[in-house]
């Protein structure tokens, strides 16, 4: 399961889960409904808000609230101009405060961090094809000398595409890459004492409208977690396949049947690899034109070495479209790795998300989340028993085409339980960051 990749690192911090979309249709992949071809570029807004939520029991590939840098919040805004391509090279200056730079409650130390972040963002908006991509590199200077100043402390790459070659067929692809070498680095939403990490989540998906009321969604996922140097972090690869067939029995009620497959490869030899099969049944019901609830799931059959387990593989939630954005709450339980703590684990998550994105020059994200991960077996080499709560708030306001103000607050609370045999990484952290970004936009048409 790909959920271990997740949570807004500077602005919104923690493992994300299923509930991100402005308008969820009934299928388990919750593919965004295509917009009319004649819809204007400005109305379409950012294509990132049209990437489907992959599910039902796997986390969304995108937008990745995990590690989403404030300097790239502009990707969620409407394009600066109603042209087919908007390109924005930019440079940001920021100041950040953290009260636990090493993410270790036994060695708490506050720090002020000055950041310099060049970035490049691209928005392409055509009637049947949208692309959003952004890359940033953060250089950091530590006022109190907690760590060496680093010109390459953090790198982030975010890509999302939406392609509709015919009215019945939709392809999407999302990728989120993060490399974090800072003292308060996290991996998959979990803190491991600041060990440098690299993570990537890639998710292609396809939606096929078989009939007016019947839809087939297929998706694949691949995520990786890597660590630098010697430390407690456990590297892993996770492969997943999802399929879902949905049928609208009434204008409000849709039934769903699906199948999910997950393979977890613990590369460092810290335990057995795991294979999970998860057939699902579910439904979605539109209570009002703007409020949809959904639930689906079934037994998750996991093989771990010489042991077999049956655990719930379920998800449930609702999404409320608002005049200014969307609000959602989501619960899921499935088999996943617990970031750098390893796995496989029985992982439970509750995540809320509030998105304000309809105002042309303002985007606001609010994201509380709780995740609990426990090893499936007492025989696992590294037993995991860890819980994380995070609360994130991030905002960006475009003063004019050349200047954007941004700011964010995040809180992390992590507790390692008594059954865990991993190193103790209890951590509490408050982070506040404000900054200004300067850019020079270029806009043009593709001429096709």
- Strands (DSSP E) found in 127-235: 129-142, 150-166, 169-180, 186-187, 190-191, 197-211, 214-227
| Backbone dihedral angles phi then psi of residue 106, each to the nearest 5 degrees | -85, -5
The pLDDT value recorded for residue 32 is: 37
Q: For the stretch 17-56, what's the b/e string if a residue is b when 16 or more beta carbons lie within 10 angstroms of its beta carbon?
A: bbbbbbebbbbbbbbbebbeeeeebeebbbbbbbbbbbbb
Kind of pairing between the strands at 186-187 and 325-336: unpaired
CA angle 77–78–84, rounded 5-degree value:
130
The pLDDT value recorded for residue 36 is: 38
The DSSP string of 228-296 is: -SSSS---EEEEEEEEEEEEESSSSEEEEEEEEEEEEE-TT-SS--EEEEEEEEEEEEEEETTEEEEEE
Rounded to whole angstroms, the Cα distance separating 261 from 239 reads: 8
Q: Is residue 283 in a domain?
A: yes
Based on C-alpha coordinates, what's the Rg of the chain? 21
Number of neighbouring beta carbons within 10 Å of residue 15: 30
The answer to whether 178 touches 9, Cβ cutoff 8 Å, is yes
Look at the chain and report how many structural domains it folds into: 1
Number of neighbouring beta carbons within 10 Å of residue 255: 15
Q: Is residue 19 in a domain?
A: no
pTM to 2 decimal places: 0.85
The answer to whether 135 touches 179, Cβ cutoff 8 Å, is no
| Number of continuous H segments (helices) and E segments (strands) in the chain | 1, 21
Q: Is residue 188 in a domain?
A: yes
Kind of pairing between the strands at 169-180 and 186-187: unpaired
Taken in order 430, 435, 439, 445, the sign of the CA dihedral is positive
Q: Is residue 232 in a domain?
A: yes
Which structural domain range is residue 399 located in? 41-444
Rounded to whole angstroms, the Cα distance separating 142 from 112 reads: 6
Rounded to whole angstroms, the Cα distance separating 360 from 86 reads: 14
Q: Is residue 159 in a domain?
A: yes
The answer to whether 273 touches 262, Cβ cutoff 8 Å, is no
Low-confidence ranges of the chain (pLDDT < 70): 1-67, 268-270, 381, 419-424, 447-448
Rounded to whole angstroms, the Cα distance separating 404 from 419 reads: 47
Q: Is residue 29 in a domain?
A: no
Tokens of 365: 């994200």
Percent of the chain that is helix, strand, coil (3-state, to 5): 5, 60, 35
| Backbone dihedral angles phi then psi of residue 47, each to the nearest 5 degrees | -65, -20
Kindly compute the dihedral angle of the four CA atoms of residues 28, 32, 33, 35, in this order, to the nearest 10 degrees: -170
Rounded to whole angstroms, the Cα distance separating 150 from 138 reads: 9
The pLDDT value recorded for residue 80 is: 83
CATH number for position 262: 2.40.160
Rounded to whole angstroms, the Cα distance separating 264 from 273 reads: 6
Number of neighbouring beta carbons within 10 Å of residue 145: 9
User: Of all helices (H) and strands (E), which one includes residue 437?
Assistant: strand 427-439
Q: For residue range 135-189, list pLDDT tens digits in order.
A: 999 999 999 998 899 999 999 999 988 899 999 999 988 898 999 999 988 887 8
Q: Is residue 370 in a domain?
A: yes
Region of 297 on the Ramachandran plot (φ > 0 left; ψ -120 to 50 alpha; else beta): left
Report how far apart the first and last C-alpha atoms of the chain are (Å, whole number).
39
The pLDDT value recorded for residue 67 is: 58
Q: Is residue 8 in a domain?
A: no
């Amino acid at each position: 399961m790909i959920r271990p990749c997740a949570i807004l690192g500077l602005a919104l911090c923690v493992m994300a889960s299923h509930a991100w979309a402005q308008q969820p249709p009934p299928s388990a992949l919750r593919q965004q409904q295509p917009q009319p071809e004649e819809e204007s570029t400005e109305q379409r807004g950012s294509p990132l808000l049209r990437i489907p939520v992959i599910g039902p029991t796997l986390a969304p590939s995108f937008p990745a609230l995990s590690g989403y840098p404030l300097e790239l919040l502009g990707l969620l805004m409407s394009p600066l101009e109603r042209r087919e391509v908007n390109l924005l090279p930019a440079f940001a200056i920021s100041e950040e405060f953290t009260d636990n730079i090493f993410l270790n409650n036994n060695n708490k130390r506050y720090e002020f961090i000055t950041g310099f972040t060049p970035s490049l963002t691209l928005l392409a908006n055509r009637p049947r094809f949208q692309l959003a991509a952004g890359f940033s590199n953060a250089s950091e200077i530590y006022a109190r000398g907690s760590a060496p100043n680093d010109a390459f402390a953090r790198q982030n790459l975010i890509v999302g595409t939406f392609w509709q070659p015919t009215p019945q067929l939709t392809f999407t692809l999302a990728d989120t890459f993060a490399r974090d070498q800072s003292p308060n680095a996290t991996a998959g939403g979990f803190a491991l004492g600041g060990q440098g990490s690299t993570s990537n989540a890639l998710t292609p998906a396809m939606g096929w409208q078989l009939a007016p009321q019947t839809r087939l969604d297929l998706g694949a996922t691949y995520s990786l977690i890597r660590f630098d140097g010697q430390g407690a972090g456990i590297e892993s690869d996770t492969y997943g396949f999802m399929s879902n067939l949905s049928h609208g029995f009434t204008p409000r009620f849709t039934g769903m049947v699906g199948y999910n497959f997950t393979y977890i490869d613990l590369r460092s030899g810290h335990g057995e690899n795991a294979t999970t099969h998860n057939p699902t049944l579910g439904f979605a019901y539109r209570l009002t034109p703007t409020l949809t609830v959904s639930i689906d799931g079934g037994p998750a059959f996991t093989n771990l070495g010489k042991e077999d387990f049956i655990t719930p593989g379920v998800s449930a939630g609702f999404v409320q479209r608002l005049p200014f954005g969307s609000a959602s709450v989501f619960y899921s339980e499935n088999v996943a790795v617990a970031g750098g703590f390893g796995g496989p684990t029985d992982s439970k998550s509750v995540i809320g998300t509030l998105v304000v994105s309809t105002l042309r020059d303002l985007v606001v994200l609010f994201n509380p989340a709780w995740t609990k991960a426990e090893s499936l077996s007492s025989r696992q080499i590294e037993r995991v028993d860890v819980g994380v709560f995070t609360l994130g708030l991030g905002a960006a306001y475009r003063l004019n085409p050349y200047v954007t103000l941004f700011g964010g607050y995040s809180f992390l609370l992590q507790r390692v339980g008594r059954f865990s045999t991993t190193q103790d990484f209890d951590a509490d952290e408050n982070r506040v960051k404000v900054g200004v970004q300067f850019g020079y936009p270029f806009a043009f048409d593709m001429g096709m």
